[in-house]
Amino acid sequence: MERKSGVLMHVSSLYGDYSTGSFGKEAKYFVDFLADCGFSYWQVLPFCMTDEYNSPYKSYSSFSGNLYFVDLPALYEKGLLTQEELNAAKQKSPYLCEFDRLQEERFELLKAASLRVKDKTSIEAFIADSPYLEAFCRFMALREANGGTPWQTWTADTPDDTTLFAWKFIQYEFFTQWQEIRSYANGKGIKLIGDIPIYVALDSADVWSAPDQFKLDKNLNPTHVAGVSPDYFSADGQLWGNPLYDWAAMKKDGYEWWCDRIRHMAAMFDTVRIDHFRAFASYWSIPASSATAKAGKWIKGPGMPFIKAIKAAAGKTEIIAEDLGDITPDVYKLVQDSGFPGMKVFQFGFLSDDNSTHLPHNYPANAVAYTGTHDNNTLLGYLWELDDPTRRKMLAYCGHSGDWKNGCESIIRTMFASHADLVMMPIQDLLGYGCDTRLNTPGRADGNWAYRITKEQLDSIDKARFRKLNRMYHR
């Protein structure tokens, strides 16, 4: 990796007029902002459909595109939406994603647009060229035909044609609009970092279309499920509930499903972060009947043969290994042997008195260093909640004196000066915002993923300050 810097902000957090961020003019404006600041990367969260709690890490398909990101004004310009429909879709608040409203209204609005398509040739050809998207569209249409029930209980096997085409139309618009944003960003010198959730949802096109790739019983339900062991975030661990991969079955065809997933992401992004990378070394397996993750145990993962397969599939696309959490020697070795840059998080550097690898003076060059991730508090929120001795120690480490409330600037400067090739900051940390703008709290189902900026807030960021930092530290 080159010595650069960037910003972490999901598309949903973009400003706009229609209840969530989208692939509209606002995305291009944000690219311009990044370029004006001297940044080189924009990192997003997974683009796939979200679950009932709006998490992008548990989806109906790992290959799908989130319908909420389809830009409505672009459809209006094509004559597929009316001015009245646009007006009716206007948001009530610019500060949060209006998920309840989106879940109730957005698909029906996009379906109405799809019914006005006169020539379906390009859309049908696009979907036919991607078996995974085709499976997703059929899955969603069949899911509706079966009353939204889990696929193991389905009785109807014929989807409604208009619903099926609506999903095809949505995916076509999603991917074509995104490619326009990507081309614009690359033209401005901005690279895009995408995100792959390691696991998929049980109620998904992924498991429905390829159940042999997962650890399921004779009734097609998981025998064991995914999660993480007790850690800093949760004393009980985290019970995610995703079905586990049948790595022995995947090995037989050269991990083709995963290779296709990597190729899919490589066609969309310049760099890809793989979430929970440690599971490729060893993963936490929890009996499906367990109430918490405590009952789990470590199972050996697919290791380097798998890594070699996905590296070949990625081609020139760079991969970032999210190697956070309970990291054991086998994980360290796998990350090192892979050659992928790992992640360092400033907020983890002061959890103990040890000489943590998350302290900036220990960052290797081949690393991506974050002030915090989407799972962390904001930098200001983190400072606020620290005990006073740790806060004083941490600020002294960053050469800060005076009011601790101004300490974020010293932390950011310390990160820029670090040896890590790439430094990334959530947009909230550029703004200096507190815990009320936190994106996600692990282990809590409700109240996450809704944070949005406004254009006025984005414009309030001192671009000259970040241009200076990027020049000073040769980023």
Q: Please list the active-site residues.
A: 275, 322, 375
- Residue 227: Cβ within 10 Å count: 25
Rounded CA separation 362/397 (Å):
13
CB atoms within 10 A of CB 298: 15
Token output for 148: 């939204």
HSE-up (13 A, CA, CB side) for residue 338: 33
What percentage of the chain's residues is helix, strand, coil (to nearest 5)? 45, 15, 40
Task: Write the burial class of residue 278 (CB in 10 Å: 0-12 exposed, 13-18 middle, 19+ buried).
Answer: buried
SS3 113: helix
At residue 365's C-alpha, the angle toward residues 359 and 367, to 5°, is 70
Structure tokens, 210: 């390829």
Give the integer Cα–Cα distance in Å for 411 and 417: 10
177 by Cβ neighbours in 10 Å (0-12 / 13-18 / 19+) ranks as buried
Burial of 474: CB neighbours in 10 Å, binned 0-12, 13-18, 19+: exposed
Q: What is the DSSP string of 5-59?
A: EEEE--GGGS--SSSS--SSHHHHHHHHHHHHHT--EEE----SPP-TT--TTS-
C-alpha span between 326 and 157 (Å, rounded): 44
